Chain A
Amino acid sequence: MKRLSYSDRIMVVSIYVFLILLSFSALYPFWNGLVVSFNEGIDTSKGGVTFWPRAFTLDNYKVVFSDDNLMNAFFISVSRTVIGTVAAVFMTALLAYGLGKSYLMGRKFFTVFFVFTMYFGGGLVPTFLLINSLGLNNKFLVFIIPGLISVWNMIVFRTFFKSLPAGLEESAQIDGCGNWGTFLKIVLPLSGPIIATLGLFTAVAHWNDWFVPTIYINNENLMPVQTILRRILNSNLIQEAGNLSPETLERIAKKSLTSKALINATIMVVTLPIMLVYPFVQKYFVKGVLVGSLKE
């Protein structure tokens, strides 16, 4: 490689400096949150805790993990994410496989039927009234059913299925597989990368959602952890949040715990699952994003 000119070298160096600064700014808020979550709450409020814990403690996490209401919320979040993701990915893939068959009667109509919803929708209030009149409010199913089909993911799946060699399906059919058998035994097992990608996106959407429970759920026992966290952040007086166990509220009142310490420990616990999974799926999803952006 030939040597870079003087001005090119300045440019390359400034690009590296900028990228380092950008990465720092993306990582630092998480790092600082982690540090505060491991620092004693009262000590943090004196200020100056930035890069390292000053008074290291595990107490904040002990409180989070012993608060029954928070643990119940984690359980709701996890169940919702697992059930919602498996069901949505399966239903969307099934639809995509069916729509991909050129001999499907009504195929053109179905395609327009689905794609139209990407550009037009009823909006928040009509959807809210619909969910209520269906009686889905205050039910766990409100987390699962309305999100079963994603048209965007359906298109990504269909594009992926098209790239599978046609001979595979033919030979499965010769061996006596029907369409369902081909789908379940041949197509799904070969779709690992795309299932990982869309599964991650769907799971993240379920895990991160706080708005659906805010508007449809009144039952405290069905609140996922993001909604509870939002309420804690929201209330100036943490006692008003009403989503923490009495023991935790008492500890905050007695100042053996601060709300900031609790919030940061909760944030870390909520963030950890995504941080652990996502780097492994990254190599797949870059491709998934690209397939998704090439619409037909």
Chain B
Amino acid sequence: MPPQQGMVSKKGFFRRLFKQLDIQLMVWPGVLLVFVFSYIPMYGVLTAFMDYDVFTGSRIFENPWVGFKHFEAFFDAPAFDSIMRNTLVVSLLKFIIGFPAPIILALMLNEVRHMMFKRIVQTITYLPHFMSWVIVGGLVMSLLSTENGSVNILLENVGAINEPINFLSMKEYFWAILVSTNVWKEIGFSSIVYLAAIAAVDPHMYEAADIDGASKFKQIYLITIPTIMPVITIFMILAMGNFLNAGFEDILILAQNPALRPVSDVIDTYVYRVGLQNAKYSYAVAVGLFKAVVSVGLLTIANYLARRSGTSLW
């Protein structure tokens, strides 16, 4: 055997390091990149407790400490109530509708016996996942437009409306449009994991259930769903950790009309607006930090509850 780096032991630390320098050199560029682009911004979070001045640049400790001033300012801000409400409502709607939808799709696809048909449906429903929100936004605007929008044409033809409705400028419709667009975009792609979990179910269980005369519905309810429950639980915990990420790109794209702000502004879009557009850096960092802390809390609670039921992330 050639001298393998791992075999050389009981020599000096630097000698060992030098021996495996080739492999160390593979790792160090990645370490450096992640240190710069992930860890330095974490340290930048400290500016939430300061009055950050752009001119101090990287010497952030030259900024004056102000304690929880920016957090208090956020809680007292006039927009606070509507931002929190929008964040919670949009998250909740996305969770209630968006979480079970791919599971249901996977259960349905599993019943399809024509492989060709199944593959075509999968290919088509995965497709929107690969489109940018800009494209999806463009298509949605096109479908809903008052000028040759297919939705308005359909509604007029069935006699539901007389005048085309300008859906994307009306507050009443915004949440529904946002949530359904999200489900439309991701339902197929999210179903992949559940389909794989279903494929692991022992086929003998279905045969036995069939002989016992269980209907298809009963088989799904009593065999498939319990078997994929661990996967569902893990994804539910992860979804809890993301709960306050009500949306960002989708809202920036779909809520073009400033009139929609009372229903469309969520924590992330607010951070973007006050932080980057109005340059209130410290305040925006504080709002972002508030969100991160609550998210970690939610993730921990969800994981605790799940562990009591037997599945957990850690």
Q: Do A and B bind each other?
A: yes
Using CB atoms and an 8 Å cutoff, list the residues of chain A in contact with chain B.
2, 4-5, 7-8, 11-12, 15-16, 18-19, 22-23, 25-30, 32-33, 36, 44-50, 91-92, 94-95, 97-99, 101-105, 110, 113-114, 117, 119-130, 133-134, 145-146, 148-149, 151, 154, 173-174, 176, 178-180, 183, 204, 207-211, 215, 226, 229-230, 233-234, 260, 263-264, 267, 270-271, 274-275, 278-279, 282, 286, 289-290, 293
Q: What's the count of A-B pairs with C-beta under 8 Å?
A: 260
For chain B, residues 141 to 182, give those with C-beta under 8 angstroms from any C-beta of chain A: 141-143, 145, 147-148, 150, 153
For chain B, residues 100 to 133, give those with C-beta under 8 angstroms from any C-beta of chain A: 105, 108-109, 111-112, 117, 120-128, 130-133
B residues near A102, Cβ cutoff 8 Å: 6
B residues near A264, Cβ cutoff 8 Å: 138, 142
- Do the beta carbons of B184 and A36 come within 8 Å of each other? no
- A41 CA to B26 CA in the complex, in Å? 55
- Do the beta carbons of B131 and A274 come within 8 Å of each other? yes
Can you pick out 25 interface pairs between chain A and chain B where the beta carbons lie within 8 Å of each other?
Answer: A2-B210, A4-B216, A18-B108, A29-B140, A29-B142, A46-B148, A48-B153, A91-B29, A98-B24, A98-B27, A101-B23, A103-B4, A128-B275, A129-B47, A154-B30, A204-B130, A207-B132, A208-B132, A229-B138, A233-B253, A234-B256, A274-B130, A278-B127, A282-B123, A286-B192
A123 closest partner in B (C-beta): B288
- A210 CA to B252 CA in the complex, in Å? 11
Expressed in whole angstroms, the minimum distance between the Cβ of B188 and any Cβ of chain A is 7
B residues near A176, Cβ cutoff 8 Å: 2
Question: With A117-B34, A120-B42, A133-B57 as given contacts, are A11 and B216 in contact (CB-CB < 8 Å)?
Answer: yes
A residues near B285, Cβ cutoff 8 Å: 123, 125-126
Question: With A47-B147, A125-B284, A290-B192 as given contacts, are A26 and B125 in contact (CB-CB < 8 Å)?
Answer: yes
Expressed in whole angstroms, the minimum distance between the Cβ of A49 and any Cβ of chain B is 6
Q: What class of interface size applies to chain B in its complex with A?
A: 35 or more
- Do the beta carbons of B130 and A127 come within 8 Å of each other? no
Residue from the list A15, A46, A173, A178 in contact with B111, Cβ < 8 A: A15
B residues near A29, Cβ cutoff 8 Å: 139-140, 142-143
- Do the beta carbons of A130 and B134 come within 8 Å of each other? no
Residue from the list A19, A98, A113, A183 in contact with B108, Cβ < 8 A: A19
- Do the beta carbons of B23 and A98 come within 8 Å of each other? yes
- A29 CA to B30 CA in the complex, in Å? 41
Expressed in whole angstroms, the minimum distance between the Cβ of B212 and any Cβ of chain A is 13
Question: With A47-B153, A282-B123 as given contacts, are A270 and B44 in contact (CB-CB < 8 Å)?
Answer: no
B residues near A19, Cβ cutoff 8 Å: 108-109, 112, 117, 121
- A16 CA to B134 CA in the complex, in Å? 31
For chain B, residues 1 to 39, give those with C-beta under 8 angstroms from any C-beta of chain A: 1-2, 4-6, 16-17, 20, 22-24, 26-27, 29-31, 33-34, 36-39
B residues near A32, Cβ cutoff 8 Å: 139, 142-143, 150
A287 closest partner in B (C-beta): B196
Expressed in whole angstroms, the minimum distance between the Cβ of B263 and any Cβ of chain A is 19
- A36 CA to B141 CA in the complex, in Å? 13
- Do the beta carbons of B41 and A94 come within 8 Å of each other? no
- Do the beta carbons of B276 and A113 come within 8 Å of each other? no
Expressed in whole angstroms, the minimum distance between the Cβ of A270 and any Cβ of chain B is 6
- Do the beta carbons of B188 and A126 come within 8 Å of each other? no
Question: With A48-B153, A123-B271, A233-B141 as given contacts, are A271 and B16 in contact (CB-CB < 8 Å)?
Answer: no
Question: With A22-B125, A122-B42, A126-B47 as given contacts, are A44 and B138 in contact (CB-CB < 8 Å)?
Answer: no
- A101 CA to B193 CA in the complex, in Å? 29
A264 closest partner in B (C-beta): B142
A residues near B121, Cβ cutoff 8 Å: 19, 22-23
- B135 interfacial by beta-carbon distance below 8 Å: yes
- Do the beta carbons of B276 and A215 come within 8 Å of each other? yes
Having A183-B26, A264-B142, one finds 14 other A-B pairs with CB under 8 Å, namely: A18-B108, A19-B121, A26-B125, A26-B188, A30-B139, A33-B139, A92-B30, A113-B34, A123-B45, A123-B292, A130-B36, A149-B37, A208-B134, A263-B138
